[in-house]
Amino acid sequence: MDQTAETAAKPAYKRILLKLSGEALMGEDSFGINRTVLARMVEEIKSVVELGVQVGIVVGGGNIFRGVALGATGMDRATGDYMGMLATVMNAMALQDACRNNGVEARVQSALNIEQVAEPYIRGKALRHLRLGRVVIFAAGTGNPFMTTDTTAALRGAEIGAEIVIKATKVDGIYTADPKKDPTATMFDEITFDDALRSNLKVMDATAFALCREQGLPIKVFNINKKGALRRVILGEQEGTLVHS
């Protein structure tokens, strides 16, 4: 490889926090985990691990359980949220297994104590795994009800000293309006936290957004379904929308 190619492949970030929604794992299915989609995501993750980037992942659980929907039938919100946390553990275990099958070392750390299937979340241990080149998958949210996995991503990102929170979505970035409803909507290449707030753009939930803003932790929103998109984000190429201070 010549010097120019080496320079081109130099990552813009050394440590990232990737937020994956549960819905992203189910692909076009109505629920559950789509193995083809999971394998494709792991290929994307592997491509950045091979660049020497340290990767932490927070995964949602919406593909398995939706506490809000069941809450409408009278279920207690806190109970529903705890069940949702368990759904994220199942997704994390599936992601860990797919990583290992693809030659990527991964560890699951759970905010709920389920030591038979996952390590408890211990910040120092997570940092050690990251330094050793292992992917760390943070499961069970923050371990508290009423907190979203977006908030978990912001919190864990700050705790592990990530340089950026990368939110994987099904759209190319942040738009001025919903592109499915408004054909005139345009996408931002970048936007400040203040402008996103003023425009009431739904980047993340309010708690997560406030934490990232307070910590000066930028957010990148991109389309995980675009082949090579995550690698392009890591290399600092134009992909998705950057939210920054």
Judge whether 62 is annotated as a binding position: yes
Instruction: For residues 77 and 74, give the distance between their C-alpha atoms in angstroms, rounded to a whole number.
Output: 9
For residue 128, pLDDT beyond 80: yes
Judge whether 144 is annotated as a binding position: yes
Judge whether 19 is annotated as a binding position: yes
Judge whether 30 is annotated as a binding position: no
129, part of any domain = yes
Q: What pLDDT does residue 167 have?
A: 97
243, part of any domain = no
Judge whether 79 is annotated as a binding position: no
2, part of any domain = no
Total domains in the fold of the chain: 1
Judge whether 121 is annotated as a binding position: no
Judge whether 241 is annotated as a binding position: no
Instruction: For residues 213 and 39, give the distance between their C-alpha atoms in angstroms, rounded to a whole number.
Output: 33
pLDDT tens digits along 146-202: 999 999 999 999 999 999 999 999 889 999 988 888 889 999 999 999 999 888 888
Judge whether 61 is annotated as a binding position: yes
Judge whether 184 is annotated as a binding position: no
Which carries the bigger pLDDT value, residue 6 or residue 199? 199
pLDDT tens digits along 196-219: 988 888 888 889 999 999 999 999
Domain that holds residue 176: 13-238
Which carries the bigger pLDDT value, residue 244 or residue 77? 244
Nearest CA-CA partner of 187 in 243, 122, 106: 243
Residue indicated by tokens 């559950």: 32
Judge whether 67 is annotated as a binding position: no
Lowest mean pLDDT of 9-18, 35-44, 70-79, 188-197, name the range: 70-79
Domain with residue 51: its CATH number is 3.40.1160.10
Asked whether 42 and 95 are in contact (CB, 8 A), the reply is yes
110, part of any domain = yes
Q: What pLDDT does residue 70 have?
A: 53
Residue 24: how many other CB atoms lie within 10 Å: 23
Strand order in the sheet with 135-139: 119-120, 106-110, 135-139, 54-59, 15-20, 164-169, 219-223, 241-244, 190-192
209, part of any domain = yes
5, part of any domain = no
Judge whether 195 is annotated as a binding position: no
Instruction: For residues 27 and 222, give the distance between their C-alpha atoms in angstroms, rounded to a whole number.
Output: 16
Judge whether 22 is annotated as a binding position: yes
Judge whether 66 is annotated as a binding position: yes
Distance of CA 239 to the CA centre of its chain: 16
Judge whether 70 is annotated as a binding position: no
Judge whether 7 is annotated as a binding position: no
pLDDT tens digits along 36-49: 999 999 999 999 99
Average pLDDT rounded to a whole number, residues 111-128: 97
Q: What pLDDT does residue 183 have?
A: 87
Q: What pLDDT does residue 31 have?
A: 84
Per-residue confidence band for 4, with pLDDT thresholds at 50, 70 and 90: very low
244, part of any domain = no
219, part of any domain = yes
Residue 29: how many other CB atoms lie within 10 Å: 12
Instruction: For residues 50 and 52, give the distance between their C-alpha atoms in angstroms, rounded to a whole number.
Output: 5
Asked whether 60 and 22 are in contact (CB, 8 A), the reply is yes
Q: What pLDDT does residue 66 have?
A: 61
